[in-house]
Structure 1
Amino acid sequence: MTQRVTDRRSYNDPCGIARGLDVIGERWALLVVRELLLGPKRFTQLRLGLHGASQNVLSQRLRELEQAGVVRRRKLGPPAAAWVYELTEWGRDLEPLLMALGRWGSRIPVTSETELGLDALILALRTMFDPRAAQGLRATYDLRIGDDRFLAEVADGRLDIVRGDPGGRADAVVETDVTTLREIVFGGLPLADAVGSGALKIGGDRQAVERLTGLFPLLPPRPVDAE
Structure 2
Amino acid sequence: MPRRSYDHYCTVSRALDIVGDRWNLLVVRELCSGPRRYSDLFADLPGISTDVLAARLKDLERDGILTKRRTGPRAGTALYELTESGAALRPVLNSLSVWGAGQLGEQRPTDAVRAHWFALPLGHAVAAHLPTGTATIRIGDTTFHYVITETGLTHHDGPAVAPDLDLRLDLATAGEIATGARTLADVLAEADPGQSVA
* TM-score category of the 2 structures, normalised to the smaller one: 0.7 to 0.9
State the 1:115 CA deviation: 4.5
Hey, what does 2:78 align to over in structure 1? 83
Q: Which of 5, 12, 26 is matched with 1:31 structurally?
A: 26
Mapping for residues 117-196 of structure 1, pairs under 5 Å = 117-126=114-123, 128-129=124-125, 133-134=128-129, 140-153=134-147, 159-167=153-161, 169-183=162-176, 186=179, 187-188=181-182, 191=187
Amino acid in structure 1 at the alignment position of 2:195? G
Partner SS state of residue 166, structure 2 = strand
Query: Within 1, Cα distance between the matches of 2:172 and 2:191?
Result: 14
Larger radius of gyration: 1
Q: Does 1:62 align with 2:60?
A: no
- Normalised to the residue count of structure 2, the TM-score between the two structures is 0.76
CA distance in 2, matches of 1:66, 1:138: 33
Q: How many residues align?
A: 193
Q: Does the 8 Å contact 1:138/1:155 carry over to 2?
A: yes
Q: Is the 8 A contact 1:173 1:202 kept in 2?
A: no
Aligned position for 1:215: none
> Where do 5+ consecutive residues of structure 2 fail to align?
none
Choose 47-56 or 180-189, whichever is displaced more.
180-189
CA RMSD of aligned residues (A): 3.4
Structure 1: where are the runs of 5+ without partners? 1-5, 209-227
Query: % of aligned pairs identical?
Result: 34
Code of the residue aligned with 2:32 in structure 1: it is: L
